[in-house]
A and B are shown apart, each in its own frame.
Chain A
Amino acid sequence: MSGLIKSSIARKVVMALSGLFLVIFLVLHVTINLASVVSPDFFNEASHFMGYNPLVQYLMQPILIIGVIVHFVMGFGLELQNKRARGISYVKYSGAANAPWVSRNMIYSGLVILAFLGLHFYDFWVHEMTYKYIEMNPENPTRYYAETVEKFAPFWRTIIYVISFVLLSLHLWHGFSSSFQSMGVNNKYTPAIKSFTKIFAVVVPLAFVFIALYHHLNPITH
Chain B
Amino acid sequence: MKLYLKIWRQKDAETKGQIVDYTLDGVEGDMSFLEMLDILNEELVSKGEEPVEFDHDCREGICGTCSLQINGEPHGPDRLITTCQLHMRKFNDGDTIVIEPFRAKAFPVIKDLIVDRSSFDRIQQAGGFISVNTSGNTVDANAIPIPKEDADKAMDAATCIGCGACVAACKNASAMLFTSAKVSQFALLPQGQVEAADRVQNMVRQMDLEGFGNCTNTGACEVECPKGISLENIARMNREYLSATTKG
Contact = CB atoms under 8 A, between A and B. Distances in A.
Which one of B6, B205, B208 has the highest number of Cβ atoms from chain A below 10 Å of its Cβ?
Answer: B208
A84 B105 contact: yes
The 4 closest A-B pairs by CB, nearest first: A94-B72, A85-B213, A184-B239, A186-B235
B245 A91 contact: no
A9 B208 CA distance: 9
Interface string B70-113: 01110001000000000000000000001010011110110000
21 contacts: A1-B246, A3-B201, A9-B238, A12-B215, A82-B174, A87-B103, A87-B173, A88-B103, A88-B109, A93-B72, A95-B220, A98-B224, A99-B218, A99-B223, A100-B218, A104-B218, A178-B217, A182-B238, A184-B236, A184-B242, A186-B236
B23 interface: no
Contacts of B224: 98
Interface string B165-180: 0000101111010000
Contacts of B69: 90, 92-93
Nearest to B16: A88
Interface in A84-115: 84-95, 97-100, 103-104, 106
Q: Is the interface of A mostly helix, strand, loop or mixed?
A: helix
A181 interface: yes
Given A95-B220, A99-B223, A82 B231 contact: no
Interface of A: 1, 3-4, 6-13, 78, 81-82, 84-95, 97-100, 103-104, 106, 174, 178, 181-186
Contacts of A184: 235-236, 238-240, 242
Contacts of A93: 69, 72
A100 B218 CA distance: 7
B73 A97 contact: yes
Interface in B192-248: 201, 204-205, 207-208, 211-220, 223-224, 231-232, 234-242, 245-246
Contacts of B211: 84-85
Contacts of B245: 1, 3-4, 7, 10
Contact of A103 (B6, B98, B219): B219
B54 interface: no
B1 interface: no
B8 interface: yes
B130 interface: no
Contact of A86 (B19, B105, B220, B236): B105
A100 B217 CA distance: 11
A78 B214 contact: yes
Given A86-B104, A92-B72, A98-B220, A183 B213 contact: no
Contacts of A174: 217
A90 B71 CA distance: 10
A89 B19 CA distance: 13
B219 A85 contact: no
Contacts of A178: 216-217
Which one of B108, B172, B208, B211 has the highest number of Cβ atoms from chain A below 10 Å of its Cβ?
Answer: B172
Contacts of A82: 171-174, 213-214, 216
Contacts of A95: 72, 171, 220
B39 to A, nearest CB: 22
Contacts of B219: 98-100, 103
Contacts of B232: 186
B103 A78 contact: no
A137 B240 CA distance: 54
